[in-house]
Amino acid sequence: MDHERGNGTVRLEPWAEGDFWLLQAMNAPELMEHLGGPETEKQLAARQLRYERLSVDPDRAGCMFRIVLLPEERAVGAIGFWEHRSEEAGASAYETGWTVLPGFQGRGVATAATLAVVERARAEGRFPHLHAYPSTKNAPSNAVCRKAGFTLLAERELEYPPGHPMRCNDWRLDLTPPGA
């Protein structure tokens, strides 16, 4: 289903082999500021494989997607959802994360893509909650969480990437249908 939000109408398509250029474009220093800085080519290649696997393996919870902007039919970013073992809850939940290329930011693309992921996670139905952990300093990403209907639970100290401590907001969205 296509999602409209502000000026951004998007479609999510499962991550594929041909999307490596997008991963490279998303590795720009300004986009990686709150994600531990740019990765090496080797790390990017490993990430590409993880994204492809997540998109095709039915045994794994979640999926990675390229975000396609409509009506231009242009890939402008990435979003996904995957299993995350929450230390606080002592149980698994879904986690989501997103990036939108600079020329396409500020027009609702990430918010529309997040709403589409909420729908997919709800339909897959393995876990009752979807979390996002943006850095407390990442104002646009925290705005996306708020606009997409997440609730702010708490600030947490996380390591992302491993070995790189980061102060994050723990946002959570209940995937249980109302009345269930």
Ligand X SMILES: CC(C)(COP(=O)(O)OP(=O)(O)OC[C@H]1O[C@@H](n2cnc3c(N)ncnc32)[C@H](O)[C@@H]1OP(=O)(O)O)[C@@H](O)C(=O)NCCC(=O)NCCS
Considering beta carbons, is residue 1 or 180 the nearer one to ligand X? 1
Q: What angle do CA 18, 20, 25 make, to 5 degrees?
A: 130
CA dist 30 and 36 (Å) reads 11
Smallest distance, ligand X to C-beta of residue 60, A: 20
User: Which of 11/34 has CB closer to ligand X?
Assistant: 34
> Closer CB to ligand X, residue 55 or residue 80?
80
CB of 180 to ligand X, least distance (A): 28
Based on CB atoms, which residue is closest to ligand X, 106 or 125? 106
SS3 51: helix
Q: Which residues in this chain contact ligand X in the complex, by CB under 6 A? A: 31, 34-35, 97-100, 105-111, 134, 138-141, 143-144, 147
Shortest Å, Cβ 16 to ligand X: 20
Rounded Cα distance, 99 and 102, in Å: 9
- In DSSP notation, 57-89 reads -TTSSEEEEEEEEETTTEEEEEEEEEEEEETTT
Q: CB of residue 97 vs ligand X: minimum separation in angstroms? A: 5
Element (H, E) at 149: none
